[in-house]
Amino acid sequence: MTRQVLKRLAGMVVVLLLVCLFTYVIFFVLSPDPAVQICGKNCTPAKIDQIRDNLGLNRPFWAQFWTFLSGLFVGRTYGEGIQCSAPCLGYSFQSSQSVTSMMVQRFPVSLTVAVGAAVLWLLAGLVSGLIGAINEGKFIDRFISGLTFAGMSIPNYVLALVLQFVLVVTLRWLPFPQAVAFGDDPVQWFLNFLMPWIVLAVGYAASYTRLTRANVIEALQENYVRTARSKGLRPSVVWRRHALRPALTPIVTIFGMDFAGLLGGAVITETVFGLNGIGKMASDAITKNDQPVIMGVTLLAAFLVVVGNMVVDLVYTAIDPRVRIGASA
C-alpha cells in the first residue's frame, strides 16, 4: 500500500512539472509580449525595457522558467525589491494584485458551488439509477431514462437563463441574487447558490443516473448476487450490499475528476449568475488577456485534477477488496 502511494506521489509530481512547463511555454513564450501589455497605450521603448528588466523577461527562457518554478515553493523578488511570497504565481497585468491572493479570495465561492452541486447530483444520480435498475423495463425506468436524456441535452447556460426567468422574474419564488455572507443572512446565502447548484447538478446527475443504472443491472446478473438471493436475503440488502457497492467503483472515478474540475471553477455557471469564483476570474482574465491569472487558474485546475485522481485511487481500496489484493500482490 505504501509503495503504491509513493508511486502515485512521484507520478503526480512529474505530471505537475510537465503541466507547469507546457503552461509557461504557451502563456509566456507563444503569447504577446507581457511588457507591452503592462505598459499600455502611452508607452515608450525605454519603459518597455524597464518592465522587461523588472519581470526578468530579458533573461534566457530556462532561467525564467526556473525562477517561476522556484517561486512556487520559496517565493521570488520582482524588480527593485518587490516580494512575492510562496506560492508565487505572479501579479495580474490588469489589477497588479497577486494572483495567489486573488485565487484565495475567489476559491471559497467555487468550493461552495462545487460541494453543493456535488451533493445534489450524487443523491439524484445514485437514487435514480438504483430505482431504474431495480425496475428495469417498467414505466418508472422509462420515465427516469427520459429525464436523463433531457438533462444531458440541455446546455448549462440555457438552463441557467431559463431558471432565472422562470423562478426569479416570472414566478418570483426566488429573490434576485445579492452579495451576502453566510453569517449575515444564511437564508439569502442559500438562495443565492440554489440555482447554480441546480444548473450544475442536472447534467452531472443525468450522467451518474445512466452509469449507476448500467452498473447495478450488470452487478445484479453476477453469480454472487444470485447466491445472495438464494440464501433468502432481503432485496434491499442484496441491492445495497451486493449490487450497489461494486457499482460505485467507476462512479468514484468520474466523481473525483468531476469534483476536482469544478473546484477549478465553473466558468459558464459562475459567469451567468455573477458569482465571483475561480471560473468567473478565469473568464475575465481570458477576455482581458491577463496571462498570469490565466496561467494561475490553469495550474490550480491541473493540481486539483491530479490530486483528485490520486485520492480516487486510494478510495478504491476501501470500496473494492480486489484492488487491495492486486496492490499487495
Over 60: is that where the pLDDT of 323 sits? no
Q: Are residues 64 and 103 in the same domain?
A: no
> Per DSSP, what are the bridge partners of residue 78?
82
pLDDT > 90: what percent of the chain?
A: 20
Q: Identify the bridge partners of residue 83 per DSSP, sorted by sequence position.
A: 77
- Same domain (yes/no): 109, 207: yes
pLDDT digits (tens, 9 = 90+) for 98-154: 999 999 999 999 999 999 999 999 999 999 998 998 888 899 999 999 999 999 888
Say yes or no: 109 and 235 in one domain.
yes
Residue 197: predicted pLDDT: 93
User: Do 152 and 80 share a structural domain?
Assistant: no
Is residue 320 very low, low, confident or very high in pLDDT (cuts 50, 70, 90)?
Answer: low
Does residue 197 sit in the same domain as residue 233? yes
- Is the same domain home to 110 and 61? no
**One domain for residues 168 and 45:** no
Q: Examine residue 274 and state whether it is found in any structural domain, yes or no.
A: yes
CA-to-CA separations, 9 to 12, 46, 157, 308, 323, in angstroms, rounded? 5, 46, 37, 12, 18
Q: Are residues 186 and 269 in the same domain?
A: yes
| Cβ 102 vs Cβ 293: under 8 Å | yes
Please give the model's pTM, rounded to 2 decimal places.
Answer: 0.84
Residue-wise pLDDT tens digits, 32-76? 777 777 776 777 788 888 878 877 778 888 888 898 899 998 988
The stretch 159-188 carries a mean pLDDT of 83
Residue 28 forms part of a structural domain? yes
Please report whether residue 296 resides in a domain.
yes
Same domain, 206 and 288: yes
Same domain, 160 and 60: no
Q: Which domain holds residue 124?
A: 99-328
Q: What is the pLDDT of residue 207?
A: 92
One domain for residues 127 and 204: yes
317 pLDDT more than 70? no
- Compute the distance between CA of residue 149 and CA of residue 54 in angstroms, rounded to an integer: 54
In this model, does residue 328 exceed pLDDT 60? no
Confidence band for 208, pLDDT divided at 50, 70 and 90: very high
Which amino acid, residue 84? C
H helix and E strand count, the chain: 15, 2
Contact between residue 204 and residue 121 where contact means Cβ atoms under 8 Å apart: yes
211-268 residue pLDDT tens: 999 988 888 887 877 787 777 778 777 777 777 777 777 888 888 888 888 887 788 8
Whether 325 has a pLDDT exceeding 50, the answer reads no
Residue 327 has pLDDT above 70, yes or no: no
Chain segment 271-307, per-residue pLDDT in tens = 888 888 899 999 898 888 888 898 899 889 888 888 8
Q: Which of 31, 53, 84 is the last residue of a domain?
A: 84
Domain boundary among 35, 59, 84: 84
pLDDT at 141: 92
State whether 43 and 105 are in the same domain: no
In a domain, 56, yes or no: yes
- In this structure, is residue 208 part of a structural domain? yes
Q: Is residue 1 part of a domain?
A: no
Q: Domain tally for the chain?
A: 2
Average pLDDT, the chain: 84
